[in-house]
Structure 1
């Protein structure tokens, strides 16, 4: 049923956030289980000829921002990412704020969750996937090669692991990465203004990688 109520009731339902005169009651969106996902096999005819791109999300526990997660999902959907997998212990839930920030992409784009992101990355690496991380300050990474995102060659299925705002990737996630991708700045940066918003950085990185798919005609 459609109920016509005073504006103050809509304000209360939306907890003071802009609602444009309409509120909809809907069931919560759960993360999909990887156990229920159809697994691509790298040796079969279809997926063997495709450039599979998954996006992994894992940072420091408790630091996820719903606006950033929503914006990241919006970019991932638009640019053609095949699947998004998030660490359940590090991620905020798929709230209405996430849905709004994604411009509705989360409603049509399945988001998978795992309790063991490091184990998942290790397993995919053993299957032949390339796991690459992202970093804003190359000096903060040890023992993992760092390259510019424009130098990355996408020649096999890849998982790009994005960290959290401010803290970046957890040390455990970094250890699963074969390489780290960085976005080179266009000028000498002032101290304290030397990084991008995580969803903006993810959009730039994904566009740099996904443009290779378009050049190859996939």
Structure 2
């Protein structure tokens, strides 16, 4: 009669006996005691419910009958495996213990990592094939403002199925869509990820007509109390930068944003999301030739103010710190594109150049600001001076 002294010894012997059939070597009953058993190699797998190869001698058991023997074997095996399974596996058995997790965290887990068996069966998302000129707007604020502002032709709203659709912000978008007769369709998160190209959609996507630059020039500043300020962008190519600039311009009170049409990024859904929906409210004017616009405005009494980095050498034009500049008449603030800044053609038309002073000695390579951050600082300085001279 064999008694294995260690689990490692046991596993080595099992490889040798792996092909032998399951049979008792000896079964002797003294009272209600059982001897050890040889078993097949299938016992190496914890899901196999037969007897474990390590069975202690002198283990008490009820009188042996076929069913009772199976119950005993299962009982012994479960006790041995309970000692041998890794701690991580035992920890995973407590997945249902959710009372220690906050309700907010459980909600996020359900939304982002739902169990496969709990995923709702949803209708396959279908973009209208007839709406070939449409694009997908994504995000709560862009979708809501696209619905309310009426600058787009809206076709269909897609909403993530599940608990996230019950959030107040999502419900507001759905209610606005239904109020305007826009079809609302529930889809999976995977569908929304595909529609938004993997960007942050916040559970909603809207199929709508695209927005473009406004090319018809109209005077939007008659009879103003404040001195008008226009923001002129040349060659902004990053949609995230353009969106952030539009958001700051709208928030701080710029009267108009104009942009070069050449070498500039289009007004895409990415720009709308980066602007937190300001692009849906704030029309952006586009010009093929910014030089003609600046020359026209100079004849109308406007001043042209350019921007340069700290320490830039412009001997023919005065450079002023933005905090020292005061707006006294209608102003065009010119912002150049990432990397290159303003072109020489536009710089030659500037009457003053503004710069943002640094707060420390700068290491070469990081001596400048992101264009959207610099624009926000300059606009705040200029528009604050406009308010102070009322």
Name the TM-score, length of structure 1 as normaliser: 0.90
Provide the aligned length of Structure 1 versus Structure 2. 208
Match of 2:289 in 1: 116
Alpha-carbon distance, 1:174 to partner: 0.9
Rounded to whole Å, the distance in 2 between the matches of 1:177 and 1:205 is 16
Structure 2 residues not aligned, in runs of 5+? 1-182
Q: Equivalents in 2 of 1:125, 1:216: separation in Å?
A: 22
Please tell me whether Structure 1 or Structure 2 has the larger radius of gyration of its CA atoms: 2
Q: Is the 8 A contact 2:326 2:386 kept in 1?
A: no
- Say which of 38, 54, 59 aligns to 2:219: 38
Residue 125 of structure 1 and its aligned partner are, at CA, apart by 1.1
Give the SS at the match of 1:90. Answer: coil
Distance 2:376 2:323 in 1: 13
For the structure 1 residues 12 and 53, does the alpha-carbon distance in structure 2 shift closer, same or farther, using more than 3 Å as the test?
same
- Candidates 256, 262, 265, aligned match of 1:92: 265
5+ residue gaps, structure 1, are: none
Residue 183 of structure 1, CA deviation = 0.3
**1:83-129 CA distance string (max 9 Å, x none):** 00100113211101100111111111111111111111111112110
Query: Structure 1's 39 and 82: CA in aligned 2 closer, same or farther, altered over 3 A?
Result: closer
Determine the structure 2 residue equivalent to 1:9.
191
Deviation of the 1:34 alpha carbon:
4.0
8 Å CA contact 2:310, 2:356 repeated in 1: no
Higher relative contact order (CA 8 A, sep 6+): 1
Q: Is the 8 A contact 1:55 1:81 kept in 2?
A: yes
1:19 corresponding residue in structure 2 = 201
Aligned to 1:198: 371
Which residue of 59, 73, 80 corresponds with 2:253?
80
What's 1:56 paired with? 232
Residue 203 of structure 1 deviates from its aligned partner by 0.5
The SS at the match of 1:97 is helix
1:123-155 deviation line (CA, Å, top 9, x unaligned): 111211000111114424352221111111200
**1:14 positional shift:** 0.7
Normalization by structure 2: what TM-score?
0.51
| The 10-residue stretch of structure 1 (138-147 or 181-190) with the greater mean CA deviation from structure 2 | 138-147
Could you report, residue by residue, the CA deviation over 1:183-217 in whole angstroms, capped at 9, with x for unpaired residues? Answer: 00011111111000001000000100111222234
Matches within 5 A, 1:146-185: 146-185=319-358
Task: Report what 1:28 is aligned to.
Answer: 210
Asked if structure 1 preserves the Cα contact closer than 8 Å seen for 2:237 and 2:338, the reply is yes
